[in-house]
Amino acid sequence: MTAASPLYLWGGLNREIFLWINQSGGPWKDQIALAGTWVGDHRWYPIAIALAFSLALLRPQWLAPHRVLVLSWAYLLNWAAIAVLKPLLNFPRPLAALGPHWVHVLGRPEFQHSFPSGHAAWVFLLLGSLSPGAIWPLRLLLLLLALWVAWARVAVGAHFPADVLGGALIGLACAALASLLLRPWRPGIEARWIHPVGRRP
C-alpha cells in the first residue's frame, strides 16, 4: 500500500474526515486533544503494566491475571510491527501532505512516518489485551481511552484517520496473536498467580 492507494485515500474521505476533525472546535477541543495525545503515548507502558499487574494480583476477579502477560507479549509484537512499518512505508504526515494552511497543528510539527499511528496501536493494544478478562467498568474505560486517543491524534494534526485505523487494527491484531500464543499456558499462569495470595482460580 502507498499513500496514493485507494485503500488509504478512501475516495477522498480520508482527507475530508481529517479536515473536519482537525479544523472544528475551539480552545477547549485543543486542550482535550493535547491531553489525549499525551495520555496515549506508549512510553507509559511501564506504568500501565505495573497498574495491570497490581490490579490482577489484588483483584483477579476484576482483571484475569493471564491478560497481563498477554499485554506484555502483545506490546513486543506491536513495537516490532510499528518499528518496521513506519520507516518502510514512510507516508507523509498531514502537515507535509496538505501544507500548513490546511492543518491545525498542536504540539511538535511532524512530517514523516504517518502510517500507522503508534498512539492508536498502543491504546487499542491495551483494549484488546485487557478487555477480554476485565469487568465491564474497566472494559468501558479502556474503550473510551482508545477512542479519545484515536480522535486526539487527528485533532492535533499528527495523523490522517486511515493512520489511526491502521494503528488500531495492528494493536488489536497483536493482542489477538499474543492471546493465541499464550492460550496453552493459561491454566498454569492462573494457578501460579492466584494461589500465592490465597485466592481460588
111 burial via Cβ count (<10 Å: 0-12, 13-18, 19+):
exposed
Main-chain phi, psi angles of 59, to 5 degrees: -135, 70
The amino acid sitting at 3 is: A
- Which of these ranges, 19-23, 26-30, 93-97, has the smallest mean pLDDT? 26-30
- Burial classification of residue 186, based on how many CB atoms lie within 10 Å of its CB (0-12 exposed, 13-18 middle, 19 or more buried): middle
Averaged over 176-195, what is the pLDDT? 74
Q: Lowest mean pLDDT: which of 6-10, 51-55, 162-166?
A: 6-10
> Which pLDDT band, with edges at 50, 70 and 90, does 200 fall under?
very low
Residues 157 and 95 sit within 8 Å (Cβ to Cβ): yes
| Contact (Cβ atoms closer than 8 angstroms) between residue 94 and residue 110 | no
Task: Quote the CA–CA distance of 200 and 190 in Å, as a whole number.
Answer: 9
Give the model confidence (pLDDT) of 59-78 as tens digits: 989 999 889 999 999 999 99
**Total-model pTM:** 0.90
Residue with cell 498531514: 94
pLDDT band of 194, cuts 50, 70, 90: low
Is a pLDDT exceeding 80 seen at residue 1? no
The CA-to-CA distance between both ends of the chain, in Å, stands at 46
| Conformational region of residue 99, where left means phi above 0, alpha means psi within -120 to 50, and beta covers everything else | left
Q: Could you give the dihedral angle defined by the CA atoms of residues 157, 163, 164 and 170, in that order, rounded to the nearest 10 degrees?
A: -150
Helix ranges (H only) for 40-156 are 45-58, 66-89, 94-98, 118-130, 136-155
